[in-house]
């Protein structure tokens, strides 16, 4: 039986993790983000490389009971929501999105492991890149040629589209950059 994904708060998940022996947690952030901060016991399957068959195999290897939920985790909850959409038709167990992601779990006081990594989160990378492109486009438009104003207009349109569709092409592109791909771990 296929299940639809549901969402729980960080406080609810904190209670679950403190009472259940080993809840199955899948972290869909980039490898670099996981290297920086991680939740102990979570398996790593980056959203940009998410493969339903791999997840299914992993869960089978872990002896996942189809009655027990699989918790999906990212930095803020948006990538976990996209992962649930990709996985829900292929997995037999309930999918639960942790609302607010690792940021909310950290704020709720859950113990988060600090790793040796120093890569900034994907969301911050998108903001830095978008802001930089706007500044560059405006500067070039003012000082060189007004046609460069197309660049900030393009970035603005992309951000508006990302907001409306909850899908960010810039984030998916940045996720494939070399600094976001250190050693892959489960």
Please check the confidence at residue 104 and state whether its pLDDT lies above 50: yes
pLDDT given for residue 170 in this prediction: 92
**Average pLDDT taken over every residue of the chain:** 89
How much of the chain exceeds pLDDT 70, in percent?
A: 95
Please check the confidence at residue 184 and state whether its pLDDT lies above 50: no
pLDDT tens column, 39-70: 988 999 999 889 999 999 999 999 988 889 99
* pTM for the full predicted model: 0.75
Please indicate whether residue 150 or residue 111 has the higher confidence score (pLDDT): 150
User: Own/partner pairs for 158-162, CB < 8 Å, 24+ apart?
Assistant: 158/130, 159/130
2-11, 74-83, 126-135: which has the highest mean pLDDT?
Answer: 126-135
Q: Is residue 158 classed as helix, strand or coil in its secondary structure?
A: helix
């Amino acid at each position: 039986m296929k299940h639809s994904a549901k969402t729980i708060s960080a406080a609810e998940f904190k209670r679950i993790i403190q009472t259940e022996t080993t809840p199955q947690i899948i972290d869909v952030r980039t490898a670099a983000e996981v290297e920086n901060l991680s939740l102990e016991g979570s398996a790593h399957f980056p959203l940009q490389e998410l493969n339903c068959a791999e997840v299914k195999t992993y869960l089978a290897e872990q002896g996942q009971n189809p009655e027990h939920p699989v918790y999906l985790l990212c930095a803020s909850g948006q990538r976990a929501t996209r992962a649930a959409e990709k996985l829900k038709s292929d997995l037999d167990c309930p999918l639960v999105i942790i609302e607010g992601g690792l940021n909310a779990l950290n704020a709720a006081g859950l113990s988060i492991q600090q790793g040796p990594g120093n890569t900034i989160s994907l969301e911050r990378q998108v903001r830095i890149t978008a802001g930089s492109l706007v500044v560059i486009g405006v500067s070039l438009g003012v000082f060189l040629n007004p046609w460069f104003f197309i660049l900030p207009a393009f970035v603005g349109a992309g951000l508006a589209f990302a907001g409306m569709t909850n899908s960010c092409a810039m984030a998916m592109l940045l996720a494939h950059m070399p600094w976001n791909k250190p050693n892959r771990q489960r």
